[in-house]
Amino acid sequence: MGTPIRHFLQFADFSRDELEWVLERSRVIKDRFKRYEFYQPLADRTLAMVFEKASTRTRVSFEAGMYQLGGSVIHITTSDSQLGRAEPIEDSARVISRMVDVVMIRTYEQTKIERFAQYSRVPVINGLTNEYHPCQILADIFTFIEHRGPIAGTTVAWIGDANNMAYTWLQAARVLGFHVNVSTPPTYSLDATLAPPGPHFTVFDDPMDAARGAHLVTTDVWTSMGFEAENEARAAAFADWQVDSEMMQVAAPQAVFMHCLPAHRGEEVAADVLDGAQ
């Protein structure tokens, strides 16, 4: 038996030291790239990207990143592969992972990506599931650090749905040592199995209280992919959970606003906040 394969299926799969190394390494690679330094450590390596849900940013960032580092990508969707014809996940995992060096998957239940990883010969990266979106939060934290410095010890306000982004922020807070103030509508509150209570987060009924003093205010769509049937009910329940300029004013003076996009101006975020200086 060789070294066990490491996957990135949720944020807490990596330790604080490992994540800090990844963030520092990213900074070095980004600097080189911006200086047009040729750096292709992934020459001859292939990434398979499996999408069971739509994607814009995840596809473009992974694909561009692989090419920039010298590798190549194979883009697979449910509609143009055997995945849509109910091939068992175990079979797909065994076969795909024999021919590529790393696999990124965007799918529905977290259990699906876990099963794939269990039968994969190569590392598997979560490109979004119903429960988690670890690469997005890693990128958000990288960006926060670039603009504002270390995230440890800061307060992040999560306003809105208890979704994949929210659960990942909570894991990140626990691992990296910052605090999350969470405010969701009462009928869309956190699931305690995905967010076991701990000192790394506090729940607020009023979103204004959650935003007060926060260094980073963040939100996401009211209806995530896969939950479209709840659209109308959600629009009514979330009406008071819009991040607007009044909310940004109670946050810390240098607070930044972040949204993983796609955003709906006038719903979860006011246009002047999304397009504003913060």
Contacts with ligand NVA, residue ranges (CB under 6 A): 128, 163-165, 220-221, 224-225, 260
Our CB check for ligand NVA shows the closer of 154 and 163 to be: 163
Q: What span, in angstroms and rounded, lies between the C-alpha atoms of 40 and 198?
A: 42
Distance of CA 275 to the CA centre of its chain: 21
Our CB check for ligand NVA shows the closer of 10 and 224 to be: 224
Q: What span, in angstroms and rounded, lies between the C-alpha atoms of 263 and 259?
A: 7
Say if residues 252 and 213 touch (Cβ distance below 8 Å).
yes
In the complex, which residue's CB is closest to ligand NVA?
224
Q: Min. distance of Cβ 29 from ligand NVA in angstroms?
A: 23
Q: Min. distance of Cβ 161 from ligand NVA in angstroms?
A: 7
Nearby residues of 216 by Cβ (< 8 Å), 6 or more positions away: 144, 148, 151, 154, 155, 156, 157, 255, 256, 257, 258
Our CB check for ligand NVA shows the closer of 97 and 107 to be: 107
Say if residues 230 and 185 touch (Cβ distance below 8 Å).
no
Our CB check for ligand NVA shows the closer of 162 and 252 to be: 162
Say if residues 215 and 148 touch (Cβ distance below 8 Å).
yes
Our CB check for ligand NVA shows the closer of 89 and 137 to be: 137
Q: What span, in angstroms and rounded, lies between the C-alpha atoms of 194 and 183?
A: 16
Q: Min. distance of Cβ 69 from ligand NVA in angstroms?
A: 23
Q: Which two tokens stand for residue 21?
A: 């190394």
Our CB check for ligand NVA shows the closer of 83 and 162 to be: 162
Closest CA to 225 of 170, 262, 276: 262
